[in-house]
Structures are given as structure tokens and as C-alpha cells.
Amino acid sequence: MNSSPAAGSIATGSIATASHGAVISGVEHTRQAIAALQAEELQWFARAEALAAEETARIPSNEGREREMPRRGIAAELAAVLRRSDRGMQERMRDAAVLVDGFPETLGALEAGGIDVAHVRVIQDAGARITDPDARARFEQAALVVAERETPGRAKPIILMLAQRLDPVPLEERHTEAAAGRRVWVRDLDDGMAELAAILPAPLAYAIKERLTAHAREIVAAARGARAGAGAASDAGTEADASARPETGAAAAAPDAADADPLATDRRTTDQVRADVLADLLLTGHATAPVSAGSIPATAAITAHVQITIPAATLTGESTEPAELAGYGPIDPTTARHLAATAPVWERLFTSPTTGAVLQVDTYRPSAQMRRLLDARDEHCRFPGCRRPARQCDGDHTIDAARGGPTRVTNLANLCPGRHHPVKHGTAWSVVQRPDGILEWTSPTGRIYVDIPRRVLEFMALAAAAEPPPF
């Protein structure tokens, strides 16, 4: 078995007096040590699975229950040691064996601290469907290019797309089989609640959530406006009544609860409104609550906004290369062509044949072309690890406009307004934009973090996969 590194270069006693830079280094070293130990633990679980298989092979009986006993026995003891479920331990043993045998480079990257277990799960889940050994090895090589540069959340849709591109089994065939399993179910919860869940084709699921979110934002904004208006009217009424009847002005100004505007008294969160709108739409066909009706006119339909990228050859039916749903990953060509046929407007996306970078976006409808190009290139906030959609972000000048920075795509990037845009301007973080939209962020301690646009990173990963695996 592999030995584990020391848990960092900072002695435990000195943590309380560590400097800013030492804190960052200490966390980094500790996380690397944890990753190495997790890789070692996975190898122990895989060995437990191998021992169970060896013991099972020595049982002469064909009785299924008897042949399950070696695995159950080992899993039960591991579960007792770790205070976990023995059924769950059997699953961990099987998953670890698949990882050790089928994804050795991923295990090595975990052991070296280049990725963590969340990356491992993303790679293993996406690659499990690839049964061809050579295709799986190419996928693993490409996936690690992404995982070593991105958070698990950002990496997942890219790695899913890589799996689709490198799997020799056509996506159309796999999607047809998966779509047959679509269903809706309810799970009981405590305190009179229940959980409603559904398995649907990804474009439908994302469109449903987007539409619910659009409704919720309209309702929350209308409620906020109504509260502000009610507050102003109350203040004006109080002043008028006080001058006319000083002795009863305060009491006269209090509104009758029965006459209160339901919008002004709505205090629900966006999540609560989204859940209520879901129930309204499914049970009545439209949002029926007073606050919903009061904020959204009956004729103002709210539709979902989803971004789907379709290769030109797929759009014409000349190719079966998968399309991509932004924020999710690959979707089958038939669904993509159907959605394209119903879209009111198309945008054409041109990418570099040598780097995969987004070069230009055009459309038949006049609009802010630069904004569209940035949204297509970035897809989300460009601070390392952030996934807030580009359409909800600010177009930030990498070199501040006040300091002479030009308003060009090569000097613009999407940053989320509430968090990372202020971080860039209000802290010691700094950023430089390189060719192809690559951002180099420098932290207050001088560390450099490179944020690569999704399509450039995917192109790099596929290029790595085209090379023979290093084994």
C-alpha cells in the first residue's frame, strides 16, 4: 500500500499564530494529505472486494444466498469499524474496485492531491458507461485535464460532454433507453410535508426550473415594490391625519388588515414562491395565488430561457455529435433539432479550429453583439469556481475603464455582481486577460489561478485524449 504524506508543513502548535500565506499553505498541504489518505482508503476497500471475490470463488455451491456471505461478512465488519451501514459498505467496496481497476490515473491524481474525491465521483460516474477500455482510457486522460483545473461543479458538465464525445455508443441510442425511465414520484417527509421528484429529459427539467424562477422573480419584485409603495402611503397618511386630528392621528393611520394589499404583505422567499408557483401551475394551469395574479398580468406569458449549442452538422442531420445544454452537458441530437425548429431566433457561434475558443457570435436580430459573444464565451462568472450564469453577471472591464481600459471583448469578462465583481475591485485580488479569454487571477498571497473558458478547456482535454495514454 502507498504511504501517506505528513499532514502539512505547519506544526499544530503554530497554527494560532500563522500568517495569511501560512494559512493558505497549511490548508493546501492538509487537503493534499487528506486526498492521499482517501486514495489509500479506496485501495483498502478495493482489496476488501477482491478478498470477498476470492472467498466466493472457493464456495462450491451455486446457491446465491450462500455466495453472498463472504462479501456481506467483510462489509459488516468494515461497517462496524467505521460505524456505517453494511449495505452502504458493500457499495463502497464495489465502487472502489471499479475505480482501482478502471480508472487508475484518476486514483493516482487523487493520491497526488491534484483532485479530490468529488472530482473522482464526477469522473467515475461519467465514465462508467464507457465499456471500451481504450475509449475509457482516452476519456480518463481528457477528464483529468479538466478536473485538475476546475471545481467539481464546473467540471461536471464538461466531463459529461467528454464522455459523450469519446463513447463509441451513439448518444441517441443511450438517450432513448434512458428516456424510457422517466417518472414522477413522491417521498413522505416529516411534519406534514412530502417531496415531489421527477426524472425528465434534461432540456425539459431545466426549462421547468427556469420558468418557475422567472415567475418567482416577478412575484418577489412586485411584492417588494408594493411594500415600498405601502410604506410611503402610510407615512403620507400619518402626517395628514396627525395635522387634522392630532389626538388620534397614529391610530387613524393604521391600515385595516382586511384591506391590506396581498402583494405588500407577501414575505415569502424566492424558493418558497418557486414551490408555490409549481403547485399552482400543475394544479390549475396558471399561477392562482393573489400575489401571483397581482404581479403577472394574464396576458404576460413567462417562458423559459435555455441555451443550447448545436454543431452545424448535427443541426442539418449530417452528424450525430451531441448538442449541449448550458449548465448541464450533452443532449441527444434529435431533441436538439426539435428545440432549434421551435426557437424564435438562432445565434451562430464561431469557434477557433486550433484552440476551441469562441471567436464570434452573430444573429439575424439586432442586439448587443459584444454582450452575446461574452455570454457565449464565458457561460458563467469567470472568478475561479463560480457558476452563476453569464446572463446574471456584469460585463467587467479587466483593465478598469477609468484607467483607460478599452471596451473590447479582449478586455471584458463576466463577473457576478453581488460577490466576485466587488472582490475584484475592493480587495487585493487582481486579474490579467490572456488570448482566447483566459484569465489569470492573482490572489492577495501572490498565488496565480488560471480560469480557462469552458470551450478552450474542453478542446485542450480532447486534444490530450487524442494522444496515446501514458501507460
- What pLDDT is attached to residue 320? 80
- What pLDDT is attached to residue 172? 78
- Which residue reads 464525445 in cell numbers? 165
Mean pLDDT over all residues of the chain? 81
- Judged by average pLDDT, the poorest of 56-70, 146-160, 242-256 is 242-256
Q: What is the pTM of this model?
A: 0.65
Could you report the per-residue pLDDT of 188-207, keeping only the tens digit for each? Answer: 888 778 888 888 888 888 88
For residue 143, pLDDT beyond 70: yes
Decide which of 63 and 66 is more confident: 66
CB 50 within 8 A of CB 94: no
Identify which of 382, 451, 449, 456 has the alpha carbon closest to the alpha carbon of residue 419. 382
Residue 411 corresponds to which amino acid?
N
For residue 270, pLDDT beyond 90: no
- What pLDDT is attached to residue 317? 77
Which residues fall within 8 angstroms of residue 87, CB to CB, at 6 or more apart? Answer: 75
The angle that helices 133-147 and 152-166 make with each other, rounded to 10 degrees, is 150
Strand partners, 197: 185
- What pLDDT is attached to residue 232? 66
Give the pLDDT band (50/70/90) at residue 402.
Answer: low
The torsion of the CA quartet 229, 234, 237, 239, rounded to 10 degrees, works out to -110
Residue 272 corresponds to which amino acid?
Q
Q: How far is CA 339 from the centre of its chain?
A: 22
d(CA 48, CA 29): 29
Give the pLDDT band (50/70/90) at residue 4.
Answer: very low
